[in-house]
């Protein structure tokens, strides 16, 4: 039999659908992007990394499983785009083809559950390496991971000042805890504001609700924190809030980092998270936030944190989380 003959090749060549990779088959990377080493991204638009670490969480653990769950959920959009040779986004009315998006999945960053500092140093180093070559997207992990990721991005672009847009139920401005210390998921924004790369005047928070420290509104006014609570969203509308938030975060900065904590979404929609808080964003509002931020030229990096899939047997949380990131990178690179 000729070496050139293959029944498998013959079948594939004669059946068009044989080349379609279903969502649940083949690569389970983000949007079925090419697996790449973080040092090999010169031809890449978006570099995705996972941070499977939740040792800084103060409530329910499980966000360590977030990166895997969000990646798997994202494969649905890759399948649709590949099968249909492009898509029409019915929310934005845009024509989208993910073949135009050069995306790589760099896998999970090495983390050390018993060594918070070493884990943070690892996140900083890997995000910095990715950011030197592409638009970095980090999937967490608890929200503490945002602090070292933010620093890695700022270092990579040699920034003097980086703004932050934080979509979250909680402000994460704690000045420390006698139980969890100074570095935990409730202190990441404070650490960013006190770092050499930012300050409260260039931080915008969207969706804050529940309870904060005594005198928090006075704290926000004194520090210049751009605070948009759920009540503000209800009064002003989500588009007005997001437009003003990104304007404040980007003014006089070199770039803006976006961090989306999935607990900003109401737990009736996204229950798979460590610290659920009633009265949050609905899915339409959440997607609108990413639609707007995805078109802003100042946005240079993003993360999505606190998906704890084991608390959501419906898998709705990771599906929404994936859609939020897909929306952001689509608006940036695939329209």
- Helix or strand holding residue 207 (H, E): strand 203-208
Separation of alpha carbons 68 and 78, rounded Å: 16
Number of helices (H) and strands (E), helices first, in the chain?
10, 11
Does 105 show up as a binding residue in the annotation?
no
Task: Report DSSP letters for 263-330, one per residue.
Answer: GGB-TTT---BSS--SS-B-HHHHHHHHHHHHT-TTEEEEEEE-B-GGG-TT-HHHHHHHHHHHHHHI
Q: If you search the block for the tokens 């980007």, which residue do you land on?
A: 250
Does 284 show up as a binding residue in the annotation?
no
Does 170 show up as a binding residue in the annotation?
yes
Query: Before 128, cis peptide (omega within 30)?
Result: no
Does 199 show up as a binding residue in the annotation?
no
Does 168 show up as a binding residue in the annotation?
yes
Q: If you search the block for the tokens 């900003």, which residue do you land on?
A: 264
Does 121 show up as a binding residue in the annotation?
no
Task: Give the residue numbers of the binding site.
Answer: 143, 168, 170, 172, 261, 263
Task: Give the residue numbers of the binding site for Mn(2+).
Answer: 143, 168, 170, 172, 261, 263
């Amino acid at each position: 039999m000729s070496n050139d003959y293959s029944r498998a090749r013959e079948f594939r060549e004669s059946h068009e659908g044989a080349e379609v990779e279903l969502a649940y088959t083949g690569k389970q990377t983000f949007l079925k992007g090419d697996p790449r080493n973080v040092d090999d991204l010169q031809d890449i638009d978006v570099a995705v990394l996972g941070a499977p670490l939740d040792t800084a969480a103060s409530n329910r653990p499980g966000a360590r499983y977030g990166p895997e769950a969000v990646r798997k959920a994202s494969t649905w959009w890759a399948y649709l785009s590949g099968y249909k040779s492009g898509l029409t986004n019915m929310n934005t009315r845009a024509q989208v083809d993910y073949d135009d998006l050069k995306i790589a999945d760099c896998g999970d960053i090495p983390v050390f559950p018993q060594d918070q500092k070493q884990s943070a140093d690892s996140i900083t180093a890997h995000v910095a390496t990715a950011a030197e070559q592409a638009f970095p997207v980090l999937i967490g992990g608890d929200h503490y991971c945002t602090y070292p990721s933010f620093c890695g991005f700022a270092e990579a672009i040699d920034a003097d000042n980086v703004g932050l847009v934080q979509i979250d139920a909680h402000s994460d401005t704690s000045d420390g805890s006698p139980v969890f210390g100074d570095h935990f998921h409730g202190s990441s924004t404070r650490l960013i504001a006190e770092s050499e790369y930012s300050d409260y005047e260039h931080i915008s928070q969207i969706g804050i609700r529940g309870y904060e420290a005594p005198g928090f509104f006075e704290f926000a006014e004194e520090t210049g924190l751009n605070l948009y609570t759920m009540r503000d969203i209800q009064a002003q509308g989500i588009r007005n809030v997001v437009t003003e938030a990104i304007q404040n975060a980007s003014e006089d900065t070199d770039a803006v980092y976006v961090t989306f904590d999935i607990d900003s979404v109401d737990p009736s929609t996204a229950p798979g998270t460590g610290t659920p808080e009633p009265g949050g964003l609905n899915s339409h509002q959440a997607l609108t936030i990413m639609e707007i931020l995805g078109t802003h030229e100042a946005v240079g990096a993003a993360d999505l944190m606190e998906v704890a899939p084991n608390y959501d047997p419906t898998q709705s949380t990771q599906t929404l989380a994936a859609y939020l990131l897909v929306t952001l990178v689509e608006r940036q690179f695939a329209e």
